[in-house]
Structure 1
Amino acid sequence: MRLKQFPIVILLSLFHFLSYSQPHTKLWNGKKCAVVLTYDDALNIHLDKVIPALNAFNFKGTFYLIGSSPAVTNRIPEWRKAAAQGHELGNHTLNHPCDGTLPGRDWVGNENDLTRYTVARAVNEIRINNAFLKAIDGKNERTFAYPCGDFTIHDTLYYNQLKNDFVGARGVASGFLPAKNVDLTNISAFIEDGTTAAQMIAQVEEAEKANSFIVFLFHGVGGEHPMNISLEEHQKLLEYLKKREKDIWVTTMVEVAKYIRQSQQ
């Protein structure tokens, strides 16, 4: 009797394992976790080095563009081509205003000091940048990234007036959350500055263990910005992600935000 029951016990155990473990390991578009590669401040090196590197692996990145940046206004056809290839052109405001009263913000000029803005001005400039970006890529859906991670103007959350303009907004606080707990007005991100590929890969593996996702926040990749990682380390990360493509969903911020929004309904 015991011998006859033994296979049944095994089959029941296997059934329960598959029933309960599978949803937790395939939560992200049928994969174990999601990775979003985001690049801030509209740098020439993003067009010259980063996008070709992503294209070589058939990966899509999110590039948060400052509308007034010469690297945008002087290279519109190249950004349009990048969008046509599937890369997201995100909104990083028209003039990148930051709170100049905070420590280490001596570089913030009066004209770009967020504390000198009104909420109406901030909202207007962001919407102007949205119109500009649509003129480049023709798209209505995109995400926003807070310059310097600053959320408020005189204690007012200015993004509250922009929730219907974007699919989501990327912040700067790191963390691994399940999709149902993600605040789409402040999507977590990991700032990379001088980081090695090994360190970034470890972060991806932590996201995978947590059944979560990770948003990488890059600025310079091989130079052009004080916050920088090397091209070589960036390349190694891409190579790792390509090898793990079966388990890792590498996509844009707008696609992950849409996926999270749908999962929360």
Structure 2
Amino acid sequence: MEKKVKLIITDLDQTLLKGDKSISQYTLDIIKKCKEQGINIAIATARSERAAKRYIDLIKPDIVISNGGALAKHNGEVIYRSMLSPLVSEALIKDCVLHTDIGEVTVETEMGYFSNSPNLLKNGVDYDHAIYNTYEESLDCETFKITVEAFNNKAALELATKYSECSFLAYSGEPWCRFAHKNATKDYAIIKLAEHLNTDLSQVAAFGDDYNDIDMLKTCGYGVAVSNAIEEVRQVATHITYSNEEDGVARFIQENFLL
């Protein structure tokens, strides 16, 4: 493979991170070598910056694409932002709270991360910044995403279709769905970042495992699926590497992109 990659983008959960949410020293060393060779490193995650903070601190990426593509920053500078309007956000939150097929409702905003579950630590320490909110009063702000515990994905999808600016995404292997602006996607953010960096998409490599990584992999010159990825991701990938438990991202980078 010709070594011409200028930007490497990786998802976090089940891609770069192992099942226990750790990052191996080997992977961190490979990322460091990429930077030494002038390759930009980006993470592209469904998490917010706050929920990804400990990984951002470890990796020190040049670029952070967070909230599933709703926000993209290069060295701290906002390059792209796509949020649901206050009006749509308020109406959708009310719909979710009142729906019998939806449990916990979380809302990511610039003001903070809110949840209507009294057990704020049930989603792990990465979400210990959550603020309890019953949503009885309007948040009155734009939202990066509204993520819900859905007992019926079809019912949740029907809610999204009520709002023309809204998109819907179900995550694999867990009963959670995300509502966001229709342009809040990883691939759209990557296109904007590539323009900002004056980098051709053929010189970009992306790694992923789940539904929200499909268009990202299709957009980039190298779309690499970890072997534990869902079948839909594997089908669109240009390459398949080892699993997240086997440092698949780092091994592929070392074997194909480092001098």
Structure with more relative contact order (C-alpha pairs < 8 Å, separation 6 or more): 1
Q: Same fold (TM over 0.5)?
A: no
Which bracket does the TM-score occupy, shorter chain normalised?
A: 0.3 to 0.5
Kindly name which structure, 1 or 2, has the bigger radius of gyration based on alpha carbons: 1
TM-score normalised according to structure 1 size: 0.33
TM-score normalised according to structure 2 size: 0.34
Q: Higher helix proportion, which one?
A: 1
